[in-house]
Amino acid sequence: METNNTQNISTTYNQKEKKGVDELRDEKYLTLIANIILVVGIVASLILLFSVVFVTGQQNYYSSEGDVIGSGVMKAFSATGLAITLATLISTVTLWAFLRVISNISVTLKEIKGKIQTNSIL
């Protein structure tokens, strides 16, 4: 009889362990999505930095009569490109932080719920 009781307790404990792992599955996915968004946003910001902020253009050289006497490649700074790049970076970090906070709140609420249920059973 005692062996049956021990097996029941062991089975109940194993079910609780599996349930605990499954309960946080959604939060782990949310954290994973947040990290992917952060990495993609940083990479996109770097790409924007070199393609939109520092633009290359054709520069023509003119004579005093207005005729083109030569041309060259010019690098120019774009304030609009910088604004777009900073907006992308700031929104990425903000979204990442928001998703992490939501995930942490959910984990904490589940821990509190588990403690309340454990105390009410005892």
Can you read off the two tokens belonging to residue 61?
């050289």
Task: Look at residue 18 and tell me if it is in a domain.
Answer: no
Q: Which two tokens stand for residue 94?
A: 């903000």
Quote the CA–CA distance of 86 and 16 in Å, as a whole number. Answer: 46
For 39-57, what is each residue's pLDDT tens digit?
A: 999 999 999 998 888 877 7
Report how many domains make up the chain: 1
Q: Could you tell me if residue 36 is inside a domain?
A: yes
Compute CA 88 distance to the chain's CA centroid, rounded to the nearest angstrom: 12
Structural domain boundaries, residue 107: 25-121
Q: Is residue 17 included in any domain, yes or no?
A: no
**19 occurs within a structural domain:** no
* Structure tokens given for 122: 């005892």
Q: How does pLDDT run along the chain (122 residues), one tens digit per residue?
A: 444 544 544 444 445 555 555 678 899 999 999 999 999 999 999 999 988 888 777 777 777 777 767 777 777 888 999 999 999 999 999 999 999 999 999 999 999 998 998 887 75
Radius of gyration of the chain (CA): 29
Residue 4 maps to a domain: no
Whether 16 is covered by a domain: the verdict is no
Q: Other C-beta atoms within 10 Å of 120: how many?
A: 7
Query: Would residue 54 count as lying in a domain?
Result: yes
**Position 13 in a domain:** no
Share of the chain above pLDDT 90, in %: 48
